[in-house]
Structure formats: structure tokens, C-alpha cells
Structure 1
């Protein structure tokens, strides 16, 4: 699959022909690193809980600290890339991500690890939008754009499962701290090589919407915190409802601000397309259900079936293999069948894959679990690339950074909120020494998220027919 090289513009440096493709491969490697970190510590969670003395409810912050900061600041990262230059912003983000990966691996308390994970998310929020923006602005034609998006989508959808496998290998052969240390050599390689091999993009004039960044991130943190703490304080407790109310007010402030500032963080015109809104909602629910499934499945395999971290990671191998297989044929299927039909079929398959997991027991045959993982991988391959295409269709090049930031924001925040809901449900029904009691409730919550994703894409089909 050829990579897309940067186009010539009067105001930007053209990448050197020799090594240009290598540079873009390194950019994709950095994107893979950012995606891996959403789940690479997942397999290590039981070991982290033991070493640093995490509680059941607080443990999910090791994942959500990263996801909330990543999702909450992606819009700002996309805007900074447009104004400052996408390569420069990308490198700043990779540098921060690498530094805080090192500090996270050295953490000695739960608070230090969660803070390091959140600052990793900040670095990822600066780096990630530039990757997708470079793809969407440099493709010479629609076919090349679809192939490049297929590669990006394969990384986005395979990265989560690959993170589980890598996390298992590192935890078993070394210890959980290496799930963070592994980012350091990769980050240093990218920081040294990319400036030599990848050219800068033109800059766009404008200012930064700080109020929008604060309200978006603060709203996400408040809502996720309230959902995670709900089992401790009660679903209708003052702290739970208060946290959700504060989050809703901050999101309302974001909506109010973005209509009035000259250089908004979230461009209102990007939300005027019903198809784009439907694709964003479907991506949020889809990614939320998948991250929640990873969180629960790791604990089932390690706590209930007593798998080692390595065996647990390898148990997820069918998933990235099926995603990779689908990524080879999806661009052609999009042209023949249409993106919307593929997304509907993929969402329906994911619901079917999740339903058997709601009946897990200590005697469940592992073949059932493996079948669910394969079906989930196929469904991810059928939905991620078409949803990316639908969300970024008809976006002007000068708004590519903002649009890609919005898309990845919905993905990350959907993952954080979905994981918070499922983790809270699991904790509320958990029984000491028996995963399956809380686990079945958690998988029902994950299945509900998948049903919501199916409803969103069904609505997307109706909107597409109306627009046609």
C-alpha cells in the first residue's frame, strides 16, 4: 500500500524525495504508538493494582486518565497544528508523550501514575490530529485517499488489540513498567528522523480558543469522574449528579463560546452535516464498547481463568488478524457497496459478538470467547475506515486539522465514557472472588453501547437517503 507524499505548496518545504516515504512510515509508527497506549497497560492492570495499591473503582483511571486528556485536548491540538504547523505540533506532542511515558514507568504511587498517563494523553492530543490531517490534505485523488485512510484506520482499530498483546509480552517477560518504557526508544527515533524526512505544512492565521479547550476538557473529566465514582457514591448521589451537571454546564459553555469567537476550537459548520454527526456518534459508541470489552475480558482471562499476562495478550491475537484481513478489502467494498451499508453490517455483527459474553461463566468454553473476538475484529474492520471516510467527507483542506481532531475527540471521549459506564457497572455488581457476577453486568452494558452504535448508523442511513 503506497503512502501519500506531501504536495508542493509555495509556502511549505517539500520533503526530500529520498526517504520521504520512510518519514511518513515513521509518522504512522508514532500514530500506532499513540493508539497502543490506550490499551497496552490493560493486561498489566492486575499487577499495577497489586504493586501500587489501586482500588477497584480507581484502577480504570489508569486507562481513562490517558483517554480523557487525549480526547479532551484533541481539538486544541488540531487547531494548534493548523496555526503553528502540523509537523512542528506533531513533534512537540511526541516529545511530551515520550517524556511522560518514562515518568509513568517510574511512578511509585497511584496518583503519580494517573498524572503521568494524563500528561501522556496531552502529548498524544497534540501529535495525533497532525497525522490524519497530513493524510487528508495530501492525497492526489479519492482512491489514494481511501487507501491511506484504510491504513490509518487499520492502525486505529488494530492498535487496541495489538496493545493488549504487547502489554502481555512485556508484563510477563519483564514487568508492567515496560509497557510505558517501550515508548521511549520509539519516540526518540521519531524525534530524530522525522524533521529530516518530512516537510512542514503551511500555517493558517488565527488565535487559540483557550476557553473552548478548558470547557471541553473540563466537561469530559467531570462526566467521566462522576460515572467512575458512581458505585461508591450512588448513581443518584449528590456527587454523581453534581459531577454530571458540572460536565453538562461546561459542554454548554463550549457550545455557547464556539458560536461567538472568531477562531473557534470546534467549528460549528463541521456539525451542520447530519451524516457527519451520525458518523461521529457511531464512532463514539463503537469505540466505547470496544474499550469496555477489552477492560472486562482481560480481568476475566486473568482473574477467572488464571491466564498469565502473556497468554492473555495472545488470546486477543485473532482480533488484530481479522482486522488486518478486513483492511485489505474494505477500500474496494466501500466503492462497490457503500460506506453506510458496511457500517450497518459491522455494527450489527458487533452486537451479535457481544451477546454471548453476557453469559460467561467459570465453565465457558474458550472457543466461544475466541469466536467473539474474531467477530469483533471483523466488525471493527468493517466500521472504522468507512466511518472515517463519512466523517471527513467534503471537509475543506484548511479545516482538515479541526475535522480530524473532532473525529478523534469523539473516538477517545466515547471510549472514556463507555469505559467509565462499564467499569462502574462491573464494580457495582462485583462479588469477591467471582468475576462472572459483575462481569456479566459489565458485558450487558457494553452490549448496550453496541446497540446504541447500531441505532446511530441506522439513523445515518436515513439521513443519507434524505440528503440524496
Structure 2
């Protein structure tokens, strides 16, 4: 049976669309989720972190599973898991159930996303057709992130927060029905080593989870408490064990030799810091717009829209400019824009105008994060062997997700601590929330400034068109 490659692309791109959509669609629903399920402020960030941690932590395992079991089979399994946990998230009646559903939903995304990309690269040969397909894939993914905040606001205001999860279910069902018709089954040659390195994936993800949980509990228990020190120390032990396993296994998820390439190490750090700044900004501003300024969920989503548009424009500009100015120059410019945007946002008050206090910062930040992402993705594979480029790209993508979750934990903990201390000193609740918002965004700004230092070590490259297309998709 002959299948149109463009019909295949439509199925794959729609699946990636909902994976990216779920990163942003939930943000504007957070205040309603907090009120309905009685989340504490420090635990609310797990609705975001639970998803991103397991997505990032198991992304490389998903790619390995696609190689060994066949990408279509893993794609279907990941989609089914993603749809089922979306349904369970919408039906959740307690914080624990929702966080658990979001975490497993992230695992579903970690299975389907690399499998979809593997199918795409086999379906389209090197050259113009693949560049176009990558552009469509990346464009729809970017559109998912941009429309997510608006769609989330519309669903929350017109139905309820539960529909930001339920909306995935009919899409997933339609995709699973369409896959046998439009996506061919790709058979890989038999591989000598069929190890999944499940131990590596579990140890690495559990280590980061323990560190994040320790940071989150610091506000309630204190940094020197036995609980916090225990989780932080346990996380470090698990991460050391992860490195030991990766060094010994014959087919590691993260080949440690890749980090001998300075460009990969630098790019991993840059994308981890970029993820930390992005998730922190999104979480804080979503709460600020609704709890301080009194926006509805839809109004908050519309207020985020210019940032998404700026990111799409930034992607188009970055793919053109990186040819001319090189990766280092573009990445430095991106970090400066990102830091400037966060600094402007950190000065917003409780009653100031949106156009003067929030819009400039959101636009600058939207431009800046893509200015970091595109050159960092290109630099990541610059010094690694061609046959390991896929593994290197997976590593930096995982760093982006995991860095985002860890950064969000640090920022929210410091923000909540500042708010709590301000209230204890007699500051009114709304003003205390504003001060906590300012503190959190200043910490996020520090991440961006640190990224400026990291960017100085980025190699100066002028890539070809295909490298740019693939980097834009990853960013």
C-alpha cells in the first residue's frame, strides 16, 4: 500500500502539536486547579515539573525503544499512554492524582516524540523535501506552544480547567485510528545489542526528582532540615549511580564520551539554563496575571500571545541570521534579549498597564529564547561523530527539559519564601505576592545572565541550510 509522505507528516505533526501544547495549555489553568483541588503554593509547580521531568528524563529511552521495537509501535504506545493519562488528569480529584497523571503523561510524550521524529526522517530523504517537512513539523510544534495559552484560557473560562486535559483525548483517538492507514511500519535491521538501559533512565530521573523535591520542601522545612538534606543527598547519590551505570553499560542512554566535545557540554548547559528561565517565567507570570492583576484565564492567555508570536518571528530570524553572524554571536544576542525581557517583567506592579509593564518584556523574552535555542542546537552536534548526532541532540533536549524543572523548583521556592516572609512582616497579601513575583523573576534573570557567560564559550559556526532546519525544529 502506497502512503503519501505528506499525509504521514500531517499525522506526526499533529501528535507533536499536542505534546508541545500540553507544556503551555496548563499554565493558565493553574489558579483554578489550585483552588479546586486545594493545592499548596509550593506543590502547584509539580503540575508543570512532573510533566517536564519525566518527559526529559525518559526522552532518550523513548528514542532507544523506537530503534529496537520499531518507531510506529512505540509511537502508538506513547500516544495511547498520553491520551489515557490526559483523561485521568481531567478526572483527578486530588493533587496527588493530578501530579501522578501529569508525570505519566510526560512519559507518554517521551515515547511518542522521538518515535515520530524517527518516522519523519525515514519518510523524507535528505534535501529539500526533508527541510520542508522539518519546517512544517517545527512550525506546528511552535504554533502548539503559542496557541496553548489561548486555548487553555478559552477552555477554562467556558468549561473548566479539566478540559485542558480532556481536549487531548479525541485527538489521540483520531490519530491512533489514522496511523495504520497513513504511517508505514518501519523495520530496522537486527541490532546486536538490544539493551534499553532502563536502569540508567530510572536512576537519572529519580536523582533529579529527589533534588527537585528537596528544593521544593526547603521553604516549608528549612534548607538545613533532615528532610531537605536527605532528599538532596539522596538525589546526588542516585545521579552518581547514574553516571557509573552509563560508564559501564555497553549501550548507554547517555554516552559519556560525548561530553568530551566542549560544544556539547556548553550547549547542554545553555539549554538547561534557557529551560529554567522559560518555565519559571511562564509559571510566575501566569499566576501573577490572574491572582494579582485579576485577569480571567482567557485574558491571561491572550496576554501571553505576543510572546508566542515573537518566538515564531525569532525562529524565522534566527534561521536567517545564523548563516551571517554565526552561532556564538546569535546566542549572545539571545541571552541579552532574554535577560532584558525578564528584568523588565520583574519591575511590573499590581496595577500598571499591560502595554507598558508586561508587553515589552514578553516580546523581548520570546525573541531571546529562540536566539539561544537555534545556535545551541547547532553547536551541540558540531564536534561529535555523524552517527552520534542523534544521541547528542537527544541529550541537549533532555537537559533543556530537566533544567527547566530544576530551575522552576528553585525560583518558586525562593519566590514563595519571600512572599511568606513579607506577610509575616505585616505586608498586605497582594503586595507580598507582587514582591514574591519580583524576587522569582530576578532569580530567573540570574539564570539568563549566567547563560550569557556560558554563551561566550559557544563555538562560532556558520551552518548549512539542513543543519539550520533541524536546529529550528529542536529549538
**TM-score, with structure 1 as normaliser:** 0.89
Check whether the contact 1:130–1:401 (CA below 8 A) recurs between aligned residues: no
Write the mapping of 1:342-353 to structure 2, written as runs, cut at 5 A.
342-353=330-341
Q: Which moved more, 1:27-36 or 1:113-122?
A: 27-36
Partner of 2:273: 285
Partner of 2:458: 460
Write the mapping of 1:60-79 to structure 2, written as runs, cut at 5 A.
60-79=45-64
Q: Which of 163, 166, 171 is the aligned partner of 1:186?
A: 171
* Cα offsets for 1:372-424 (capped at 9, x unmatched): 11111111232323322322446667546533432321121011111111111
Partner of 1:438: 436
Shift of 1:459: 1.8
Check whether the contact 1:279–1:387 (CA below 8 A) recurs between aligned residues: yes
Q: 2: distance between equivalents of 1:85 and 1:400? A: 20
Q: 2: distance between equivalents of 1:456 and 1:136? A: 31
Q: Which moved more, 1:284-293 or 1:272-281?
A: 272-281
Partner of 1:118: 103
Write the mapping of 1:67-466 to structure 2, written as runs, cut at 5 A.
67-134=52-119, 140-141=125-126, 152-154=137-139, 159-201=144-186, 202-203=188-189, 205=191, 206-367=194-355, 368-393=357-382, 399=388, 402-430=391-419, 431=423, 432-434=429-431, 435-461=433-459
Partner of 1:6: none
Alpha carbons of 1:344 and 1:284: their partners in 2 closer, same or farther (altered >3 Å)? same
Helix, strand or coil at the partner of 2:456: helix
Q: 1: distance between equivalents of 2:135 and 2:329? A: 17
Paired residue total: 449
Shift of 1:54: 0.7
Check whether the contact 1:227–1:420 (CA below 8 A) recurs between aligned residues: yes
> What's the Cα RMSD here?
2.4
Partner of 1:5: none
Q: 2: distance between equivalents of 1:216 and 1:399? A: 20
Alpha carbons of 1:223 and 1:369: their partners in 2 closer, same or farther (altered >3 Å)? same
Shift of 1:111: 1.0
Partner of 1:54: 39
Q: 1: distance between equivalents of 2:383 and 2:2? A: 30
Q: Which moved more, 1:376-385 or 1:344-353?
A: 376-385
Helix, strand or coil at the partner of 1:359: coil
Q: 1: distance between equivalents of 2:277 and 2:158? A: 30
Q: 1: distance between equivalents of 2:268 and 2:133? A: 20
Q: 2: distance between equivalents of 1:158 and 1:297? A: 20
Check whether the contact 1:301–1:307 (CA below 8 A) recurs between aligned residues: yes
Check whether the contact 1:358–1:443 (CA below 8 A) recurs between aligned residues: yes
Shift of 1:139: 6.1
Alpha carbons of 1:401 and 1:91: their partners in 2 closer, same or farther (altered >3 Å)? farther
Helix, strand or coil at the partner of 2:430: coil
Check whether the contact 1:129–1:408 (CA below 8 A) recurs between aligned residues: no
Q: 1: distance between equivalents of 2:76 and 2:389? A: 18
Helix, strand or coil at the partner of 1:406: helix
Q: 2: distance between equivalents of 1:140 and 1:256? A: 38
Check whether the contact 2:142–2:312 (CA below 8 A) recurs between aligned residues: no
Unaligned segments of structure 2, at least 5 residues: 424-428, 463-475
Write the mapping of 1:17-56 to structure 2, written as runs, cut at 5 A.
17-18=3-4, 20-56=5-41
Shift of 1:212: 0.5
Q: 1: distance between equivalents of 2:260 and 2:180? A: 37
Q: 1: distance between equivalents of 2:84 and 2:286? A: 28
Q: Which moved more, 1:394-403 or 1:448-457?
A: 394-403
Q: 2: distance between equivalents of 1:110 and 1:158? A: 29
Helix, strand or coil at the partner of 2:251: coil
Partner of 1:4: none
Alpha carbons of 1:56 and 1:63: their partners in 2 closer, same or farther (altered >3 Å)? same
Check whether the contact 2:9–2:137 (CA below 8 A) recurs between aligned residues: no
Shift of 1:95: 0.8
Q: Which moved more, 1:35-44 or 1:171-180?
A: 35-44
